[in-house]
Chain A
C-alpha cells in the first residue's frame, strides 16, 4: 500500500451519525472481485437513482468538495459490515483521511491496511471542524508531526498507537513484516499451543 505522511485539502462534512458500510458501498457491488477502481461505487445509492442518473446535492458531488481528500463525519462512521470495499471505494475516490468521533472497529482496521487515516476526535471538536469544513477551510494532516491543522491553526494532535502510525507512514505490507520479524515467535507459540491444546491441531500433521 501507499504510505501516508501528509495531506492538505478541503474537507467534506457529513454530520450524520452511524454512516454504515452498506451506505458507503452497497452490497450488490461486492460481487466485483477487484479492489481497485471502486471509487465510482462510493455512496452509490445516495449519489445515483436506480436508473443510474445522478441525484442532486450529495456532498462529494458538490463543488468544491468533490476533490476533498478529507471527510469529516458523525460518530460511528463505517459501522456494520466488515466489507473492505468501503475503504477501497473511499481511497479509490481520492479520500485519504476520515475524521469522526468514533468508527466502526472493523472499518478502522481495514483503513489501516490501505493507507486511509482515521482520526477519532471528541464530538464537539468534530462539530467545530465540520462547520469549518463547510466554510471551505483548508485541512492539513501531518502524520509525522501528528497534528491536524484547519486553516493553519493546530486544532488537534493525532493520537494513534505507534504501531499503527508507523504502518501508515511506511506503507509496509503487514504480512511481510510479520513473516520476517515474528515468524520465529509465531512458530514458537504454535509449538507451545499445540502442547497445551492438542485438540486444536488434530487436523494437521
Chain B
C-alpha cells in the first residue's frame, strides 16, 4: 500500500520503534527563540550536558523584542534580560544566531524558510506551537515545550506517538480577495478548534497547487488552531524554486541531489488517510472571527450568532461567555462592528505577499480617524523588500505605522498590546481572551480584510470596498 507524506517523513526519521506505538525520532532542525528556551538551557547545564549538534540549531529573538526604536535597549527590563539570556546561551553553546540588529532578524517561522533552514523531508522542532507553519515545505514540523527543547538539543531526538492522518482537499476556484487565511478560518469553523486533534493534516488539491508559498505557510500555520500539531503540503516545483539559492539551503550539485530525494516525498496515489475531507473554496467568503476561539469564525456578511442556537449547555455557556467578553449581541451584523486597532503581522500573515495584499487595499486611501493601525513585517528582509517595492510608503501615506520585525501584537509580550476594551482587526492566529492584551478583543482575518477594516474603521467586506461584488 502507498504511503502518505506523513508516513514517509515519519519512517525516515525513526531511530527506534517501541511496543506502545511510539518512536524515537531524529530531529534534523531546531529553531530557538528567547521565550521558550531559558529553562531548556538551565536543564542542559544543570546536568553538565552539551548541545549535541549546534549546527542543527538556529536562534533568533522575536517574541519580546521592541518593534520601535531598535537603536535603544529594550525598555522592559524583563524582556531585555530574556533577550540577553538568549544571546548568552547561544554564545556558550556555539549555536548559530541571528541577533536583533541583524537584517535577517524576524519571526522564527518567517526566517526559517527565508534562510533555507527549513527544507523538505526534514524533521523540525521549535518551542512554539506555530511550528506547524514549516510543514508547507513538506517537512515534519511541530511545536514542543521547553523541556523538549532541552531534550532535542542534548540528544537530537524526541520520542513521539505516531498520529493519524487527515487530508483536506481544497477544490474549486479561489476568488480575488479570498486568501489562505479565509480558507483556514472556514476550515476551522467547520471542523472545530479541536476538530483535527490527533491528526497530521495534509492540505492537497488544485487550490493548494496554485497557492504561493506564503499562502501555504498561512494554511499550515493555522493547523494548530484546528487542534493539529502538524500541517503538511507536498513539496513541488514552487517549493524547490523558493528554496534554490537560499543561504542555508544546499547549493549546486548538492541541491540537485536533495531534489531527487525531495521529489519522492509526496503522498503516493494509493496512500490511505484516516480521514479525508473536501472543501470547495469557490464558496468561501472573506472570514472574520466574532468570538474567543478561532473556530468562532463566519463570513463577513453574517451576523453574530446566538448562544440559544446551541443545544448543548456547556457550548451555549461558552458562547455566552465569548459574546460577553467581545461585547457583541446576537444578531448584530459583523460588518457593523467598529474597531480601534489594526494589526497586520505575525507568523501567520507578515510575509511580502501579505503586505502586498494589504497595501493594494490601502493605496490611495487613509486609515479611519479613530483607528491606530500598525504593520509589523515578519523579518528584516521582508521589511527591506517592502520598502524597495514602495509598500512601506503606501502604508505610511495611508496613516499606518511601519514597524520593525517581531511577533508584536500577536502575543502582546513586547509592549505592543491592546488596552482593556479595545477591539482589533488582526491578521494573527489567536483570538483568545486577553491574547493581545488584558481585556483586548481580537477579530482574526486576512491581510486584505484587516486593511479594509483600517480604512473604514469597522469590519468590512474588502470586495465591496474595492468595488467588486461581495
A residues near B (Cβ < 8 Å) are: 15-18, 20, 22-23, 26-28, 30-35, 45, 50, 74-76, 79-84, 87, 102, 104-106, 109-110, 113-114, 161-164, 173-176, 178-179, 182, 185-186, 189-190, 193, 196-204
Contact = CB atoms under 8 A, between A and B. Distances in A.
Interface in B162-205: 163, 193-194, 197-198
B145 A199 contact: no
B24 A178 contact: yes
Interface in B210-233: 224, 227, 229
Contact of A33 (B85, B121, B159): B85
B263 interface: no
B15 A189 contact: yes
B36 A18 contact: no
A191 to B, nearest CB: 11
B411 interface: yes
A35 B150 CA distance: 14
A109 B158 CA distance: 11
B197 to A, nearest CB: 5
Contacts of A17: 194, 314-315, 318
A37 B430 CA distance: 27
Contacts of A114: 147
A163 B15 contact: no
A25 to B, nearest CB: 11
A83 B157 CA distance: 20
A79 B435 contact: no
Contact of B145 (A26, A109, A197): A109
A37 B200 CA distance: 35
B360 interface: no
Interface centre among B21, B144, B197, B317 (most CB of A within 10 A): B197
Contact of A106 (B15, B143, B258, B432): B143
Given A199-B254, A199-B255, A82 B144 contact: yes
A36 B321 CA distance: 31
11 contacts: A16-B318, A26-B434, A27-B435, A28-B413, A31-B413, A79-B227, A106-B229, A109-B145, A161-B22, A196-B261, A200-B122
Contacts of A33: 38-39, 81-82, 85
A22 B26 contact: no
A105 B47 contact: no
B314 A50 contact: no
Given A50-B420, A80-B432, A106-B143, A27 B411 contact: yes
Given A110-B146, A163-B18, 12 more contacts: A17-B315, A26-B438, A81-B411, A82-B145, A83-B35, A106-B143, A106-B144, A113-B145, A162-B19, A175-B43, A178-B154, A179-B154
Contact of A23 (B22, B146, B159, B433): B433
A178 B36 contact: no
B64 interface: yes
A182 B438 contact: no
B389 to A, nearest CB: 32
Interface string B29-70: 000000110110011000101000101100000011000000
Contacts of A197: 121, 258, 261
Give the most central of A82, A163, A173, A179: most B CB within 10 Å.
Answer: A82
B161 interface: yes
Nearest to A179: B155
A193 B413 contact: no
Contacts of B321: 16
A50 to B, nearest CB: 6
Interface string B375-419: 000000000000000000000000000000000000111000000
Given A50-B439, A174-B159, A197-B258, A102 B434 contact: no
Contacts of B148: 109-110, 113
A106 B163 CA distance: 13
Contact of B22 (A32, A74, A163, A200): A163
Contact of B26 (A50, A87, A186): A186
Interface string B118-149: 01011000011100000000000011111110
A104 to B, nearest CB: 7
A105 B199 CA distance: 10
B435 A163 contact: no
B78 interface: yes
Contacts of B250: 199, 202
A176 B38 CA distance: 19
A193 B154 contact: no
Contacts of B159: 163, 174, 178
A30 B39 CA distance: 11
